[in-house]
Protein backbone atom coordinates (compact mmCIF):
# COMPACT_ATOMS: atom_id res chain seq x y z
CA UNK A 1 0.00 0.00 0.00
CA UNK A 2 1.53 3.31 -1.10
CA UNK A 3 1.01 6.06 1.49
CA UNK A 4 1.53 9.77 0.76
CA UNK A 5 1.94 12.16 3.72
CA UNK A 6 1.56 15.90 3.26
CA UNK A 7 0.03 19.04 4.73
CA UNK A 8 -3.71 19.32 4.10
CA UNK A 9 -4.87 21.91 1.59
CA UNK A 10 -8.23 23.75 1.66
CA UNK A 11 -9.57 21.32 -0.95
CA UNK A 12 -8.96 18.45 1.50
CA UNK A 13 -11.26 19.85 4.21
CA UNK A 14 -14.51 18.11 3.09
CA UNK A 15 -12.75 14.71 2.98
CA UNK A 16 -11.05 15.47 6.28
CA UNK A 17 -14.40 16.22 7.93
CA UNK A 18 -15.78 12.95 6.57
CA UNK A 19 -12.84 10.99 7.98
CA UNK A 20 -13.26 12.60 11.42
CA UNK A 21 -17.00 11.94 11.42
CA UNK A 22 -16.48 8.27 10.50
CA UNK A 23 -13.83 7.83 13.18
CA UNK A 24 -16.01 9.53 15.78
CA UNK A 25 -18.96 7.27 15.00
CA UNK A 26 -16.76 4.17 15.20
CA UNK A 27 -15.14 5.43 18.41
CA UNK A 28 -18.52 5.89 20.10
CA UNK A 29 -19.75 2.45 19.08
CA UNK A 30 -16.52 0.72 20.05
CA UNK A 31 -15.42 2.50 23.19
CA UNK A 32 -18.26 4.43 24.80
CA UNK A 33 -21.04 1.99 25.69
CA UNK A 34 -22.87 2.39 29.00
CA UNK A 35 -20.57 2.97 32.01
CA UNK A 36 -17.55 3.93 29.89
CA UNK A 37 -18.10 7.62 30.50
CA UNK A 38 -15.38 9.96 31.67
CA UNK A 39 -15.67 11.51 35.14
CA UNK A 40 -13.08 14.12 34.18
CA UNK A 41 -15.28 15.34 31.30
CA UNK A 42 -13.36 13.80 28.42
CA UNK A 43 -14.57 15.01 25.03
CA UNK A 44 -14.43 12.94 21.88
CA UNK A 45 -10.97 13.23 20.36
CA UNK A 46 -12.12 12.91 16.77
CA UNK A 47 -14.17 16.10 16.43
CA UNK A 48 -13.00 18.69 13.91
CA UNK A 49 -10.41 20.95 15.58
CA UNK A 50 -11.19 24.48 14.44
CA UNK A 51 -8.25 25.85 16.45
CA UNK A 52 -5.69 23.69 14.67
CA UNK A 53 -3.18 25.69 12.66
CA UNK A 54 -2.67 22.82 10.24
CA UNK A 55 -3.55 19.21 9.49
CA UNK A 56 -1.03 16.63 8.34
CA UNK A 57 -2.74 13.91 6.35
CA UNK A 58 -1.96 10.47 4.99
CA UNK A 59 -3.47 9.51 1.64
CA UNK A 60 -3.84 6.14 -0.03
CA UNK A 61 -4.88 6.24 -3.70
CA UNK A 62 -5.93 9.88 -3.26
CA UNK A 63 -8.17 9.22 -0.24
CA UNK A 64 -7.40 10.60 3.23
CA UNK A 65 -7.02 7.69 5.66
CA UNK A 66 -5.40 9.41 8.69
CA UNK A 67 -4.55 12.85 10.01
CA UNK A 68 -2.78 14.74 12.79
CA UNK A 69 -4.15 18.09 14.00
CA UNK A 70 -1.38 20.52 14.94
CA UNK A 71 -1.46 23.73 16.95
CA UNK A 72 1.47 26.14 16.93
CA UNK A 73 2.63 27.94 20.08
CA UNK A 74 5.04 30.61 18.88
CA UNK A 75 5.81 31.85 22.40
CA UNK A 76 7.05 28.43 23.51
CA UNK A 77 8.42 27.54 20.08
CA UNK A 78 6.54 24.27 20.05
CA UNK A 79 3.98 22.36 18.03
CA UNK A 80 1.19 20.55 19.88
CA UNK A 81 -0.60 17.51 18.53
CA UNK A 82 -3.61 15.69 19.94
CA UNK A 83 -3.86 11.93 20.39
CA UNK A 84 -5.28 9.55 19.38
CA UNK A 85 -4.81 9.97 15.64
CA UNK A 86 -7.98 9.40 13.58
CA UNK A 87 -7.03 6.55 11.29
CA UNK A 88 -9.44 4.67 9.04
CA UNK A 89 -7.28 1.73 7.96
CA UNK A 90 -6.97 -1.98 8.73
CA UNK A 91 -5.31 -2.66 12.10
CA UNK A 92 -2.25 -4.28 10.50
CA UNK A 93 -1.55 -1.09 8.51
CA UNK A 94 -2.21 1.46 11.24
CA UNK A 95 1.22 1.45 12.91
CA UNK A 96 3.04 2.03 9.63
CA UNK A 97 0.77 4.94 8.74
CA UNK A 98 1.17 6.49 12.20
CA UNK A 99 4.94 6.13 11.83
CA UNK A 100 4.84 7.94 8.47
CA UNK A 101 2.74 10.76 9.96
CA UNK A 102 4.99 11.36 12.96
CA UNK A 103 8.20 11.16 10.90
CA UNK A 104 6.78 13.77 8.54
CA UNK A 105 5.72 15.95 11.49
CA UNK A 106 9.19 15.84 13.05
CA UNK A 107 10.88 16.52 9.71
CA UNK A 108 8.67 19.57 9.06
CA UNK A 109 9.06 20.88 12.61
CA UNK A 110 12.85 20.67 12.34
CA UNK A 111 12.87 22.37 8.94
CA UNK A 112 10.66 25.19 10.23
CA UNK A 113 12.84 25.83 13.28
CA UNK A 114 10.53 24.63 16.05
CA UNK A 115 12.20 23.60 19.30
CA UNK A 116 9.77 20.95 20.52
CA UNK A 117 6.78 18.84 19.53
CA UNK A 118 4.34 17.93 22.29
CA UNK A 119 1.59 15.29 22.19
CA UNK A 120 -1.31 15.78 24.60
CA UNK A 121 -3.79 12.98 25.13
CA UNK A 122 -6.81 11.92 27.16
CA UNK A 123 -8.31 8.67 26.03
CA UNK A 124 -8.96 5.00 26.67
CA UNK A 125 -5.85 2.83 27.11
CA UNK A 126 -6.74 0.31 24.41
CA UNK A 127 -7.00 3.14 21.88
CA UNK A 128 -3.66 4.67 22.82
CA UNK A 129 -1.49 1.56 23.26
CA UNK A 130 -0.14 1.62 19.73
CA UNK A 131 0.74 5.37 19.65
CA UNK A 132 2.58 5.06 22.99
CA UNK A 133 4.79 2.27 21.70
CA UNK A 134 5.39 4.19 18.50
CA UNK A 135 6.39 7.41 20.27
CA UNK A 136 8.84 5.52 22.49
CA UNK A 137 10.47 4.00 19.42
CA UNK A 138 10.86 7.46 17.89
CA UNK A 139 12.60 8.86 20.99
CA UNK A 140 9.72 10.77 22.58
CA UNK A 141 9.65 11.16 26.37
CA UNK A 142 6.69 11.55 28.68
CA UNK A 143 4.46 10.12 31.34
CA UNK A 144 0.82 9.40 31.89
CA UNK A 145 -1.68 8.87 34.66
CA UNK A 146 -4.32 6.17 34.94
CA UNK A 147 -7.83 7.28 35.80
CA UNK A 148 -9.55 4.46 37.68
CA UNK A 149 -13.16 3.61 38.55
CA UNK A 150 -14.43 1.52 41.47
CA UNK A 151 -17.93 0.38 42.41
CA UNK A 152 -17.23 -1.64 45.56
CA UNK A 153 -16.70 -0.29 49.07
CA UNK A 154 -14.04 -1.75 51.33
CA UNK A 155 -14.59 -2.59 54.96
CA UNK A 156 -11.66 -1.35 57.08
CA UNK A 157 -9.33 -4.17 58.17
CA UNK A 158 -8.28 -4.55 61.78
CA UNK A 159 -5.46 -2.11 62.55
CA UNK A 160 -3.69 -0.10 65.21
CA UNK A 161 -4.24 3.05 63.16
CA UNK A 162 -6.43 5.64 64.89
CA UNK A 163 -8.68 7.55 62.49
CA UNK A 164 -9.68 11.15 63.17
CA UNK A 165 -11.50 13.66 60.95
CA UNK A 166 -10.61 17.30 60.32
CA UNK A 167 -13.60 18.36 62.42
CA UNK A 168 -12.29 16.35 65.38
CA UNK A 169 -8.75 17.71 65.34
CA UNK A 170 -9.40 21.05 63.62
CA UNK A 171 -8.63 22.02 60.03
CA UNK A 172 -5.30 23.63 60.94
CA UNK A 173 -4.21 20.33 62.53
CA UNK A 174 -5.30 18.55 59.34
CA UNK A 175 -3.18 20.92 57.23
CA UNK A 176 -0.24 20.27 59.56
CA UNK A 177 -0.79 16.51 59.18
CA UNK A 178 -0.53 16.85 55.40
CA UNK A 179 2.85 18.51 55.91
CA UNK A 180 3.94 15.81 58.39
CA UNK A 181 3.21 12.97 55.92
CA UNK A 182 4.91 14.95 53.12
CA UNK A 183 1.75 15.55 51.13
CA UNK A 184 2.37 19.31 51.22
CA UNK A 185 5.48 21.42 51.70
CA UNK A 186 3.77 23.91 54.01
CA UNK A 187 0.54 24.55 55.87
CA UNK A 188 -0.29 27.36 53.44
CA UNK A 189 0.13 24.98 50.51
CA UNK A 190 -2.15 22.41 52.14
CA UNK A 191 -4.75 25.04 52.98
CA UNK A 192 -4.76 26.33 49.41
CA UNK A 193 -5.00 22.83 47.94
CA UNK A 194 -7.93 21.96 50.22
CA UNK A 195 -9.67 25.20 49.27
CA UNK A 196 -9.32 24.33 45.59
CA UNK A 197 -10.88 20.92 46.27
CA UNK A 198 -13.81 22.56 48.04
CA UNK A 199 -14.39 24.83 45.05
CA UNK A 200 -14.21 21.96 42.56
CA UNK A 201 -16.26 19.35 44.42
CA UNK A 202 -18.74 18.77 47.22
CA UNK A 203 -16.63 18.31 50.35
CA UNK A 204 -17.60 17.71 53.97
CA UNK A 205 -14.39 18.06 56.04
CA UNK A 206 -16.13 16.39 59.00
CA UNK A 207 -16.29 13.11 57.07
CA UNK A 208 -14.16 13.59 53.96
CA UNK A 209 -10.78 14.70 55.39
CA UNK A 210 -9.28 11.97 57.55
CA UNK A 211 -5.97 11.43 59.35
CA UNK A 212 -4.54 8.09 60.45
CA UNK A 213 -2.44 8.26 63.61
CA UNK A 214 0.11 5.91 65.10
CA UNK A 215 0.30 7.16 68.67
CA UNK A 216 0.27 10.95 68.38
CA UNK A 217 1.98 11.08 64.99
CA UNK A 218 0.17 11.31 61.64
CA UNK A 219 0.91 8.22 59.56
CA UNK A 220 -1.24 9.15 56.56
CA UNK A 221 -4.13 11.21 55.25
CA UNK A 222 -7.00 10.67 52.86
CA UNK A 223 -9.25 13.24 51.25
CA UNK A 224 -12.42 12.28 49.41
CA UNK A 225 -15.21 14.30 47.80
CA UNK A 226 -18.20 14.03 45.49
CA UNK A 227 -17.95 15.57 42.01
CA UNK A 228 -20.81 17.66 40.67
CA UNK A 229 -21.91 14.76 38.47
CA UNK A 230 -22.43 12.62 41.58
CA UNK A 231 -19.27 10.50 41.20
CA UNK A 232 -17.14 9.99 44.31
CA UNK A 233 -13.52 11.14 44.20
CA UNK A 234 -10.43 9.96 46.07
CA UNK A 235 -8.76 13.35 46.01
CA UNK A 236 -5.58 12.39 47.86
CA UNK A 237 -4.22 9.36 49.71
CA UNK A 238 -0.74 9.78 51.18
CA UNK A 239 1.17 7.62 53.66
CA UNK A 240 4.25 9.00 55.42
CA UNK A 241 7.40 7.42 53.95
CA UNK A 242 8.42 5.78 57.25
CA UNK A 243 4.95 4.23 57.64
CA UNK A 244 4.60 2.60 54.23
CA UNK A 245 4.17 -1.13 53.56
CA UNK A 246 2.17 -1.61 56.77
CA UNK A 247 -1.32 -1.72 55.25
CA UNK A 248 -2.21 1.82 56.30
CA UNK A 249 -3.10 2.84 52.74
CA UNK A 250 -5.78 0.14 52.63
CA UNK A 251 -7.15 1.27 56.00
CA UNK A 252 -7.38 4.95 55.05
CA UNK A 253 -8.82 4.16 51.61
CA UNK A 254 -11.50 2.00 53.24
CA UNK A 255 -12.47 4.78 55.66
CA UNK A 256 -12.59 7.28 52.81
CA UNK A 257 -14.86 4.94 50.82
CA UNK A 258 -17.14 4.54 53.85
CA UNK A 259 -17.50 8.33 53.96
CA UNK A 260 -18.60 8.29 50.31
CA UNK A 261 -20.93 5.28 50.50
CA UNK A 262 -24.11 7.19 51.49
CA UNK A 263 -23.67 9.63 48.60
CA UNK A 264 -22.52 7.61 45.56
CA UNK A 265 -22.07 4.13 44.15
CA UNK A 266 -19.11 4.98 41.91
CA UNK A 267 -15.70 6.31 42.90
CA UNK A 268 -13.00 7.78 40.68
CA UNK A 269 -9.29 8.46 41.25
CA UNK A 270 -6.15 9.00 39.23
CA UNK A 271 -2.62 7.75 39.83
CA UNK A 272 0.76 7.96 38.13
CA UNK A 273 1.24 4.99 35.83
CA UNK A 274 4.64 4.24 37.40
CA UNK A 275 3.33 4.29 40.99
CA UNK A 276 3.16 0.51 41.22
CA UNK A 277 2.41 0.24 44.98
CA UNK A 278 -0.58 2.56 44.60
CA UNK A 279 -1.80 0.68 41.52
CA UNK A 280 -1.64 -2.60 43.42
CA UNK A 281 -3.57 -1.06 46.32
CA UNK A 282 -6.33 0.31 44.08
CA UNK A 283 -6.65 -2.86 42.03
CA UNK A 284 -6.92 -4.91 45.23
CA UNK A 285 -9.65 -2.52 46.37
CA UNK A 286 -11.63 -3.22 43.20
CA UNK A 287 -10.65 -0.26 41.02
CA UNK A 288 -10.04 -0.79 37.32
CA UNK A 289 -8.33 1.44 34.75
CA UNK A 290 -10.89 3.45 32.84
CA UNK A 291 -8.74 5.78 30.76
CA UNK A 292 -5.50 7.74 30.90
CA UNK A 293 -4.07 11.15 30.18
CA UNK A 294 -0.72 12.88 29.99
CA UNK A 295 1.86 14.43 27.70
CA UNK A 296 4.77 13.23 25.58
CA UNK A 297 7.37 15.47 24.01
CA UNK A 298 10.08 15.37 21.40
CA UNK A 299 12.95 17.87 21.57
CA UNK A 300 14.40 18.96 18.24
CA UNK A 301 18.14 19.52 18.00
How far, in Å, CA of 141 to CA of 5, rounded? Answer: 24
Q: Which residue has the higher pLDDT, 133 or 272?
A: 272
How far, in Å, CA of 88 to CA of 110, rounded? Answer: 28
Altogether, the residues listed in the chain come to a count of 301
Going by DSSP bridges, is the β-strand pair 78-83/116-123 parallel, antiparallel, or unpaired? parallel
Class at the top of the CATH hierarchy for domain 3-144+295-299: alpha beta
Contact 101, 84 (CB under 8 A): no
Contact 36, 10 (CB under 8 A): no
* 86: nearest Cα among 24, 174, 168, 13: 24
Following DSSP, what letter does each residue of 162-198 receive, concatenated? EEEEHHHH-HHHHHHHHHHTTS-SSHHHHHHHHHHHH
User: Among residues of the chain, what percentage have pLDDT more than 70?
Assistant: 86
Please report which helix (H) or strand (E) contains residue 270, including its range: strand 267-272
Going by DSSP bridges, is the β-strand pair 63-73/54-60 parallel, antiparallel, or unpaired? antiparallel
Give 144-202 pLDDT, tens digit per residue.
888 888 887 778 888 899 999 999 999 999 999 999 999 999 999 999 999 999 999 99
Going by DSSP bridges, is the β-strand pair 63-73/78-83 parallel, antiparallel, or unpaired? antiparallel
Class at the top of the CATH hierarchy for domain 152-265: alpha beta
pLDDT attached to residue 43: 45
Domains in the chain: boundaries: 3-144+295-299, 152-265
Instruction: Answer whether residue 34 shows pLDDT above 90.
Output: no
| Residue 269: how many other CB atoms lie within 10 Å | 25
Is-same-fold flag (3-144+295-299; 152-265)?
yes
pTM here is 0.75
pLDDT attached to residue 258: 93
CA 284 to chain centre: 20
Contact 149, 34 (CB under 8 A): no
Contacts of 261 (CB under 8 A, 6+ apart): 153
Give 74-131 pLDDT, tens digit per residue.
888 899 887 767 778 777 788 888 888 889 999 999 999 999 999 887 766 665 556 6
Please report which helix (H) or strand (E) contains residue 150, including its range: strand 141-150
pLDDT attached to residue 46: 43
Amino acid sequence: MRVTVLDAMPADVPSLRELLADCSEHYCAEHLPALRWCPAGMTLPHSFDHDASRFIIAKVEGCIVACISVRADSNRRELRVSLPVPCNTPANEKSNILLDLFLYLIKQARAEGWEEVRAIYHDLPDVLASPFQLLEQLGWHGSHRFEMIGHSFLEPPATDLRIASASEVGEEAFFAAEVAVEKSASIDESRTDCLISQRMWHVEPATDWLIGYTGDQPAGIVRVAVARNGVGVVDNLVIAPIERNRGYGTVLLAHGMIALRPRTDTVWLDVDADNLPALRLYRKAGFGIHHLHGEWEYTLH
